[in-house]
Each structure stands twice: as C-alpha cells, then as structure tokens.
Structure 1
Amino acid sequence: MRIQDEKLARWSGRILMLGSAVSFSTIGIFTEIVKLPLSDVLFVRGIFGAAAIWVVARLLTKERVTDRKSYTWPSLLVATLFTVGMVSLVAGYRIGAVANVAVVYATTPIIVAIFLKVFLREEQSTSLWYSGIGVAIGVAIMMWRDKNSSNYIAMLLAFLMSICVAGVIVIARNYKATPMLVASMIACLLSSVIAFPFMASIPNDLSSIATCALFGTVTLGLGRVFLIIGARRIPPGEAALIDVLDAPMTPVWSWLILGMRPTDQAIVGGSIVVICVMLGIAFAQGARALSDGDLANSD
C-alpha cells in the first residue's frame, strides 16, 4: 500500500509540475496583450497573485500567513529574491523578444548547479558542465548580429531572474523549513508595493484590470503553487527537467496565439539551449541514480 501511495504522489507531482510549466509559459501572452504601463501591470498582478496563493495555501497546506515562523530571515530573503526576479522577468518580456527571454530563463538549472557547487559544496555531474557549454553556444547564436539593444537588456533581466531563482533554491535546500508559499505571497505583495509609486493613476480600464488579474492568478497563483507543491513529490532532477519545458512552450504559445514568430537564429539558438539543458539534467539524474544503486549494492 505504501508503494502505491508513493507512486501516486510521484505521478501527482509530475502532473503538478507540468501544470506549473504550462501556467508559467503563458507569461509571454499576458505581457503582450496587456496594454497598461509596466507599473500598473506589476501592481495588479501582484495583488491577485498574492490572493490566489493565499487561498491555495489556506486550502491545501499548513502554511499560514499569521504564523510568526513564516517571517524568519530565510523566508524574507526568499521573498526578496522572488520579488526582484518576478519584476525583472516581466520587464524583460515587456521590452524584448519572447523567445530570447524564455530561452535565457531556461538556463536556470545550470545556474543552480553552479550555486550548489560554490555555496553548498555539492558535487555536480560532469554532464551539467558540458550542458553549460552548449547553453553558452546557443545563447551566443541568439545574440549574434542582433542589433536590437532592447533584446540584450531583456536577456540580462531574464538572467537576473535565473540568478534569483538559483538563490532561492540554495536557501530552500539549506533551510528546508522555509515556508515557500508564504514567501511567494509576500513577494507578490512586495512587487505591488514597489510598483505603486510609479503609477500615474489607479487603473480604471476594467478589461485590462481583469486581464492583469488573470495574469497574476495563472502565472503566480497557479504556476507558483503547482511548482512548490509538485517539486516536493518528485526527485529534484525530474522536477527541473519538467520545469524547463516552459521555455519552449512560452514562444510557441505567443507564435500560435499572437502570431509572434521568433527569428530563425532565435529558433536555432533556443533549440540548442533547451536541448542541452534537458540532456544535462537527464544525464545528471541518471548518473545520480546509478551512484545511489552502487551505494545500495555495497551495503
């Protein structure tokens, strides 16, 4: 019975992680169709994202906003990193090509591997370092002869998001009791607080407000919750592999729904990046499983 419960938990984790990737991959569509200023988008999105996370956390987990344990320094640092990351990523999608931003964000697992090596002294598979070389080549192809300076800025903002996420993972790995959902909710509210002083006026376009509300609910409320809950039920390597899927899905949705076709070099370079990341994670996971099996047999 216990084996069946573990299988069910793993499958539910995979479904939740896939749901997270799909939810988060809609960010390119939302940033394109919402015509409000960036500050207004961040304000409304943050409020509704926080509300959605609060509801789900209340219904499905034991994390409580009123619990003092939710406000330890690791939790607040995670909230700060999430805030910087989510503001950077939305700004990146707003000013640059969707494919470029999505692909750079897909490098997160490589950044995580570097951070785990540097800060926690955790040895990483050689395949991940080879994967990193392939990622660098793919990004170079995407940037080659691109004269649009806004794309460079957008890709730097996406890279900042990757650094923030890597920092969050290192903290969560070292402080396992960190209430991630509460920290995510705080981050949503912080992004609204940061955006508020830059707003010229309170948005009064109900259609745009509703779209921003849906933006926050889908990408933050559903995407963040699915990610946090799902990642707890499956091995880290498998979670990372599924999470990377949002990178190719983001420009695909924008292409199919909005007709925003990526450039040929973005398609080539982006494909190299995504393939290298997925292969790196897959081989690293296989090597880790083989190592664990050897240790079990030696016992």
Structure 2
Amino acid sequence: MTASLSDHAKGLLLTGFGGLVLTLDIPLIRLASGEHWSVLLARSAATLCVTLIVWFAWRLIRGNVPALVPGWTGLLVAALYGASSTAFLTAVFYTSTANLVFILAFNTMFAALLSWAFLGERPSLATMIAMAFMLLGVGIIVGDSVGTGNLFGDMLALVAALLIAGAITVSRATGKDMGFAALVAVALPLLVAAVMLPDAGVWIEAPWWILFNGAVVIPIAFFCLANGPKYISAPEVAMFYLLETVLAPVWVWMIFAEQPSRNSLIGGAILIATLIIHTLWQISRSRRRIPRGAGQAV
C-alpha cells in the first residue's frame, strides 16, 4: 500500500512539473521573434539533438533505455505528435495565445470521441454533456475570429488538438512506453520546416530563446507528461495539461501585454470550468471503482 501511495505521489510530481514547464513554450516562441518556419526548424532540431544525446547516453550508462520508436504503432504515434507540433507552432503565428491554448484544451474531448470510435469506450452521459459545453466554448472563441486573421490559426489549433488526441488514443490502445516517441516526433516538423524555409534562409531575432525552448523546455515537459500515466490515472494527467491553458495566456499578458478578447475569455472560461469539473468527476468515479489493494484505475 505504501509503495502504491509512493508511486501516486511520484506521478503527481512528475506530471505537475512537466505541465508547469510546458507553460513556458509559447512565451519562449514569442520571445524568439522569428519567421515561423525558421522557429519551427530551430526548435525541432534542438529537441531532436538533445533527445538522441540523452537516449544514447542512457543506453551506454544503464542499458535499459526504452525504445525510441516502439514498432509501427510507435511510428504512428510519432507521426501524430509531429504533425500536431507543426500545426501548433504555425497556429502561434496566426492566432492569439489565449485562443490557441483554450482550443487545445479540447483535445481531452477529442480523445473521448476517438476512444469511443476505435476502442469501443462509450462516453458516459456526463462526458457527453461536457462535450456539449466545450463545443459551445470553442464556438464562441472561433466565432469571434470570423472575418479576422485569427480564424486560420484557430482552425490549426483544432487540428493540433485532434492530432494530440489521436496520439493519446493509439498510445492507450498499445500500452507501450511512448516517452521518447513523443520527442523524436519532432523529426517531422523539422523536415517540413527545412522544405518550407524562405529563400532568405533562417531568420530568428533572438535565437537563444527558441534553442533553450527546444533543448530544455520541450524535452523535459514532454518526457514528464508522457510518462505520467505509468503512475497516475489519465484524468489526473489531463488536469496538469490545463496548466498551459491557464498560465500561458498569463505569461504572454505579463510579457507582451496581449489582452484576450471578451469572447475569448468567455469561451475559455467555459472550457476550463467544464474540463475541471468533468476531470474531477472522472477521478472521483475512478477511485470509487478501485477495489482495495487493486492497482491504478483504467
């Protein structure tokens, strides 16, 4: 029982730290102030280099390192994460930070729908009600962007959320360790950025910010969050992804004085409140169903 509590505490600390570190991603991208394909190239290259260095060092020192890409399913998960990263970073340049992180929070509901479609896990009535409220929140945010330059960015954010949900669903179906797969996935946006670079070449006004982001922030955040489900339930992990939804707009507001629109705040408040209430309900229900002495809830 003591070991179980220790593992749970470890999972909470791991995912909590990863979620907090992830909140720095968008502010660092904005601070770099560069052409977006250049930023994507630098961020992806830094993450890939650090990932490979850590993986090879781990292999030499301990020898029990998880596979970089565990089979064909690992390749699919990496492709989904890679495509999501490309959509996400492009969206940073085409919509507000608040819109982006609020819409990305919808990935939990996309995951529920994909699990229903492909894993046969029918959402409960409470989940269906939560989806309806989240659709309302996203509709308010996106509706506010119609006729402005933000609509394209909002659509990219929705695509990124769907792709993340797809990666989570495949990972859950296989039960394999996908910690490194989520990191080597940056090879895809790296290739896309290399092809799409303008003729003028790489242009980043403050490259140290994006290199720090790619080499330190992203590897730590993704590795912690990807390994959290080994120790705690999926609903608990989802709670820590909300840290970016809540804190990233705050950091951007403090650094760049970028104030969200009224509709963005209303829609975001609906999304956050719905997610928090629904996630706490899921955690409570999962714990009630765990028999004494049993392991982690599914």
The bucket for the TM-score relative to the shorter chain is: 0.7 to 0.9
1:134 partnered with 2:137: no
Q: Letter of the aligned partner of 1:250 in structure 2?
A: A
* CA displacement at 1:21 relative to structure 2: 1.6
Structure 2 distance, partners of 1:283, 1:113, is 15
Structure 2 distance, partners of 1:271, 1:226, is 27
Structure 2 matches for 1:67-82, cutoff 5 A?
A: 70=69, 72-82=71-81
* CA displacement at 1:90 relative to structure 2: 0.7
Q: Which moved more, 1:157-166 or 1:147-156?
A: 147-156
Structure 2 counterpart SS, 1:149 = coil
Amino-acid identity (%): 18
Q: Letter of the aligned partner of 2:42 in structure 1?
A: V
For residues 97-119 of structure 1, the C-alpha deviation after alignment (integer angstroms, 9 at most, x for no partner) is 11011000001111111111111
1:185 partnered with 2:188: no
Structure 2 counterpart SS, 1:244 = helix
Structure 2 distance, partners of 1:149, 1:80, is 31
Q: Which moved more, 1:228-237 or 1:111-120?
A: 228-237
Structure 1 counterpart SS, 2:283 = helix
Asked whether the 8 Å contact 2:78–2:182 carries over to 1, the reply is: yes
For residues 6-43 of structure 1, the C-alpha deviation after alignment (integer angstroms, 9 at most, x for no partner) is 22222221122122222222222123222221111111
Q: TM-score scaled to structure 2, two decimals?
A: 0.88
Aligned to 2:104: 105
Structure 2 matches for 1:117-156, cutoff 5 A?
A: 117-156=116-155
Q: Which moved more, 1:271-280 or 1:240-249?
A: 240-249
Q: Letter of the aligned partner of 2:171 in structure 1?
A: A
Structure 2 distance, partners of 1:103, 1:213, is 26
Q: Letter of the aligned partner of 1:72 in structure 2?
A: G
Report how many residues are paired.
287
Structure 1 counterpart SS, 2:186 = helix
| Cα 1:74/1:142, change in 2 over 3 Å | same
For residues 129-188 of structure 1, the C-alpha deviation after alignment (integer angstroms, 9 at most, x for no partner) is 1111111122222234444533221111111111111111111112122x4133223311
Aligned to 1:169: 168
* CA displacement at 1:195 relative to structure 2: 0.8
| Cα 1:290/1:258, change in 2 over 3 Å | same
Q: Which moved more, 1:248-257 or 1:281-290?
A: 281-290
Q: TM-score scaled to structure 1, two decimals?
A: 0.87
1:238 partnered with 2:236: yes
Aligned to 1:16: 14
Aligned to 2:66: 63
Structure 2 distance, partners of 1:113, 1:29, is 29
* CA displacement at 1:214 relative to structure 2: 1.1
Structure 2 distance, partners of 1:267, 1:280, is 20
Aligned to 2:156: 157
Asked whether the 8 Å contact 1:82–1:187 carries over to 2, the reply is: yes
Structure 2 distance, partners of 1:25, 1:191, is 20
For residues 258-297 of structure 1, the C-alpha deviation after alignment (integer angstroms, 9 at most, x for no partner) is 2111112211210111110111121122223334459x9x
Structure 2 distance, partners of 1:144, 1:76, is 36
Q: Which moved more, 1:250-259 or 1:49-58?
A: 49-58
Structure 1 counterpart SS, 2:206 = helix
Asked whether the 8 Å contact 1:53–1:181 carries over to 2, the reply is: no
Structure 2 distance, partners of 1:223, 1:192, is 19
Unaligned runs of 5+ in 1: none
| Cα 1:146/1:28, change in 2 over 3 Å | same
Q: Letter of the aligned partner of 1:48 in structure 2?
A: A
Aligned to 1:211: 209
Aligned to 1:114: 113
The root-mean-square deviation of aligned C-alpha atoms, in Å, is 2.3
Asked whether the 8 Å contact 1:82–1:164 carries over to 2, the reply is: yes
Q: Which moved more, 1:272-281 or 1:11-20?
A: 11-20
Structure 2 distance, partners of 1:5, 1:260, is 46
